Chains A and B, each alone.
Chain A
Amino acid sequence: MIEPHETPHGTQLTNLTLTVWRQKGPNDGGAFESYRIDSISDEASFLEMLDVLNEKLIGEGREAVTFDHDCREGICGTCSLMIDGQAHGPQRGTATCQLHMRKFESNATIVIEPWRATAFPIIKDLMVDRSAFDRIIESGGYITAPTGGAPDANLIPVAKPAADAAMDAAQCIGCGACVAACPNGAANLFTAAKVAHLNLLPQGQAERYSRAEAMVETMDEYFGSCTNHGECEAACPKEISIDVIALMNKDYRKAKFANRKELARS
């Protein structure tokens, strides 16, 4: 373990200005405030830099900046942040917690904002409420398989390409970058990733069309409409392809227009 007084490894970035959105509560107005970071190792992660800022603020008797974060391994989807106008910052396929300061230069000004979307109201500072995502999953983002009574796992062979495609979609971490990056505040990539994960698997076929219908309609209650900008795919830390949206649209259309009994037989 390194003691704090030891010479840090890596290059030091100096003289950073952080322009951070501060907002007291959901119903308060917010504003940018600027803070200075004199020096930070380029080995530090972006969130460790915010930890350093918060330590400094507490030291000065000021309130720390509120931001959501947890695993810091890019998998829990808790962290967010618009960094210089980009969801999760400048590194492609990387959540904010995995972004490191080596991607920045000394003397930079970095603008840090919360996700901006109607469906994600700001709670405080950089923290937003993403529970609309949970409402979408609750409406149909599952396979009905109550505990007990499942057949032996190898009785349901899954072709490797189907398993791989399902896994590609299932990697979604539910962070909301797709919504934040979308000019319409649409959640189509999030919703479609879950629809694709389950609808591509043999286990998901029984509820395939009811699932697509329920999830799309719940999504529409909260989020804007998709106009195929593709910003979501570019922002997604798991690089989920917008192909899944096409699949969801196809299943949704079938669910609305095809004969249900025919669908059930196919």
Chain B
Amino acid sequence: MSTITDPRLASKVPAGAIGDKWSTYREDMKLVNPNNKRKFKIIVVGTGLAGASAAATLAELGYQVDAFTFHDSPRRAHSIAAQGGINAAKNYHGDGDSVYRLFYDTIKGGDFRAREGNVHRLAEVSVEIIDQMVAQGVPFAREYGGLLDNRSFGGSQVSRTFYARGQTGQQLLLGAYQQLARQIGLGGVTLYNRTELVDTVNIDGRCAGIVVRDLLTGELQSHAAHAVVLATGGYGNVFFLSTNAMQCNVTAAWRAHRKGAMFANPCYTQIHPTCIPQSDPTQSKLTLMSESLRNDGRVWVPLNVADARPAAQIPESERDYILERLYPSFGNLAPRDIASRAAKRAVDSGHGVGPLQNGVNLDFAAAIGRLGKDVVQERYGNLFEMYERISGENPYETPMRIYPASHYTMGGLWVDYELQTTVPGLYAAGEANFSDHGANRLGASALMQGLADGYFVLPYTIGNELAPMLNKPTPGVDHPAFKQAEQDARDRYNQYLGIKGTRSPDWFHRELGRIIWDYCGMERTEQGLEKALSELPSLYEEFQKDLRVTGDGVSVNQTLEKAGRVDDFFQLGMLMCRDALERRESCGGHFRSEYQDDEGEAKRDDENFAHVAAWEWNGDPMSSIRNIEPLEFETVHLATRSYK
């Protein structure tokens, strides 16, 4: 392994045994006296699991917190849509789970592309998260004796997933939201709703605050702070069609990136295997069916190509249970990237099912036969109803049809062990950072990471950074740098309004998404990526010349909001393709066709690519600079990931 050459990418992981690093850090960190905390202002952007939990906890500690969300209420953040569950190494079922095993599963699931120290800390605090959420009144599923119930998820051989029916994300977010609401009521947090970040501001090499746009009036306003936390989610909507909510966007992270925060591993995107296939061309959004369904659902396709018979009429001997056949030890619970590629290959080879032959079956007949309809309904009732509302088909009687869709992004702003970006004073938490999932995230780990960052990591690490700043003057919003950023944002939004072309932001977004999906989706090739990189700049140029935004800039204008977000998606999309091109290996969600073994499995190149690619802005996305943080594996051995 090479040593760190770029001091800006020092991971700051403490020395020592893997299990001691986090306690060592906490023993050594600087503290801010309780009475001094109120002298510090911290901005938290985003109010999902990471943002709400961070804002609430920092306010409980005594910091002055300003929280920002573009939603009407913090409770709308997209964390709410997570269905299946949250992992924790509680070993409540005595099935051999431990902090180490969760750590190892996460490192392996991420195809050995995550930083060991961060991941072990995540596994350590996972147990505290469950305690905290139960104390807050999250109604997790219970056994009859009153103890917590668990289920299994892909990529693990133990039952460590806590859940609240198919609405775990909702219940966890409401828990964090309630804690945030309590602080808002007590005056510890000032909330700015329907307010979107449009820029970050650095002064003397530190993040000094942000510029936001009031979505109701178009007014731009600066906010200064001692530290800024971006908990603004992922960029999966770059694909246009994804399971992300319609408003999810990369703008906050991207604007920070343009101001010096390096963007790590943008090509690591997760395609979730169990979504409802697209059914009509006006579709603007894909719906996820929880991975937990793979506990009892069996994935199969007809053995014969283009077999259009209804599922019930296809005999067992003419069915191919693809995951059970290919991955006997994990079966239908193979990790997401692996299950997704298996589905894609089945459909690509003509075995797809449904009217458009664009899906695979997820069949519950065996589970209903074994457990009875009541038990299946108890476990998945609301998911079955949702499926029926969308597809018009009853999954108790006929198999669900599923197909992979963009779901989560492992890449994000580069952060060190303290979750600080390459801009001092600027932090990134939750899906917005890149730190814990490597090249592929395991199911039920996103909720865990968001809450770990917000509840149990940032409240410590921010204090360590702020302590030496006590009583030192910091720049206010009258500083020229803030005025300049406000002016830049004003010019940008006026420019969108002034182009007066012919195409809407959604039109461009759809076209952008098509290119990214085709060439930087589930399977990538050098040729395809080069094609994308030749098509994207010209489409982006067309966007800048032919965009049409109706309405004005002084009242609610969702078309204008969208224009700004699509602009940033274009730039990110180019960087994604460049990152995918440069990473000449396959790992996790990044599958390059050139790099696979004889059986079609991903072939990593640990010799040359056991590192994080951290991209540095250099004026435009086509000339960004690729920097490297080598990944040091002190505890686990790099091994070929096998789920067979």
Contacts and interface: CB of A to CB of B under 8 A. Distances in A.
Interface of A: 1-4, 6, 8-10, 24-25, 40-41, 43-45, 47-49, 51-52, 54-55, 57-59, 61-64, 66, 68-78, 91, 93-94, 98, 100, 102, 123-124, 127, 129-131, 133-134, 137-139, 141-148, 150-154, 156-160, 163, 166-167, 170-171, 173-174, 197-198, 201, 203-204
Given A73-B386, A75-B170, A157-B145, A174 B73 contact: yes
A152 to B, nearest CB: 6
Interface stretch (B273-281, B439-447, B633-641): B273-281
Nearest 10 A-B pairs (CB), nearest first?
A157-B146, A138-B185, A142-B178, A150-B135, A145-B135, A150-B131, A153-B134, A41-B280, A167-B139, A43-B280
Contacts of A45: 390
Contacts of B142: 157-160, 163
A8 B71 contact: no
Nearest to A142: B178
24 contacts: A47-B284, A48-B285, A72-B246, A73-B81, A76-B78, A77-B75, A123-B216, A134-B75, A134-B181, A134-B191, A137-B177, A138-B185, A143-B136, A146-B179, A148-B132, A154-B90, A154-B92, A154-B148, A158-B146, A160-B142, A160-B144, A167-B171, A171-B167, A203-B137
Contacts of B74: 134
B576 interface: no
Contact of B550 (A63, A131, A147): A63
B284 A163 contact: no
Given A78-B72, A131-B73, A147-B459, A163 B193 contact: no
B143 interface: yes
A120 to B, nearest CB: 10
B177 to A, nearest CB: 8
A187 to B, nearest CB: 14
Contacts of B167: 75, 171
A160 B143 contact: yes
A139 B131 contact: no
Nearest to B140: A163
B555 A142 contact: no
Nearest to B184: A138
Nearest to B555: A25
Contacts of A142: 136-137, 178-179, 181-182
Interface in B218-242: 241
B283 interface: yes
Nearest to B279: A43
Contacts of A134: 73-75, 181, 184, 191
Contact of B81 (A71, A139, A141, A151): A71
B392 A100 contact: yes
Given A63-B550, A64-B551, A201-B139, A150 B178 contact: no
B558 interface: yes
A2 B140 contact: no
A93 B389 CA distance: 10
Interface stretch (B53-61, B311-319, B333-341): B53-61
B165 A167 contact: yes
B151 interface: no
A64 B216 contact: no
Interface of B: 53, 56-57, 60, 71-78, 80-81, 90, 92, 128, 130-137, 139-148, 164-165, 167, 169-171, 174, 177-179, 181-182, 184-185, 191, 193, 216, 241, 245-247, 278-285, 287-288, 355-356, 358, 385-386, 389-390, 392, 455-456, 459, 502, 504, 506-507, 514, 517-518, 548-551, 555-559
Nearest to A128: B72
Contacts of B185: 138-139
Nearest to A168: B139
B290 to A, nearest CB: 11
Given A63-B550, A75-B80, A70 B135 contact: no
A147 B132 contact: yes
Contacts of B56: 147
A145 to B, nearest CB: 4
A153 B142 CA distance: 11
Nearest to B74: A134
Contacts of B279: 9-10, 41, 43
A93 B381 CA distance: 14
Contacts of B358: 2
Nearest to A129: B72
A156 B556 CA distance: 47
Contacts of A204: 137
A9 B282 CA distance: 11
Given A152-B131, A163-B141, A198-B137, A4 B506 contact: no
A70 B247 contact: yes
A10 B391 CA distance: 11
Nearest to A5: B281
Max count, chain B CB within 10 A of own CB: residue among A25, A76, A129, A141: A76
B72 A48 contact: no
Nearest to A133: B73
Contact of B284 (A51, A124, A127, A153): A51
A151 B80 CA distance: 25
A171 B193 CA distance: 23
Contact of A64 (B76, B282, B550): B550
B282 A138 contact: no
A141 B178 contact: yes
B80 A76 contact: yes
Given A44-B280, A77-B75, A170 B389 contact: no
Nearest to A49: B282
Given A54-B506, A152-B131, 14 more contacts: A41-B282, A75-B80, A75-B81, A78-B71, A98-B389, A130-B73, A138-B184, A143-B135, A143-B136, A145-B137, A159-B142, A166-B139, A171-B167, A201-B139
A165 to B, nearest CB: 9
A154 B56 CA distance: 24
Contacts of B287: 72-73
Contacts of B174: 170
Contact of B389 (A55, A57, A100, A145): A100
Contacts of A154: 90, 92, 147-148
B389 A94 contact: yes
Contacts of A10: 279-280
Contact of B246 (A44, A49, A70, A153): A70
A70 B75 CA distance: 12
B559 A1 contact: no
B158 to A, nearest CB: 17
Contacts of A3: 281
B280 A69 contact: no
B136 A145 contact: yes
A127 B277 CA distance: 30
A100 B179 contact: no
Contacts of B502: 59
B182 A44 contact: no
Contact of B282 (A52, A68, A146): A52
Nearest to A4: B281
A159 B171 contact: no
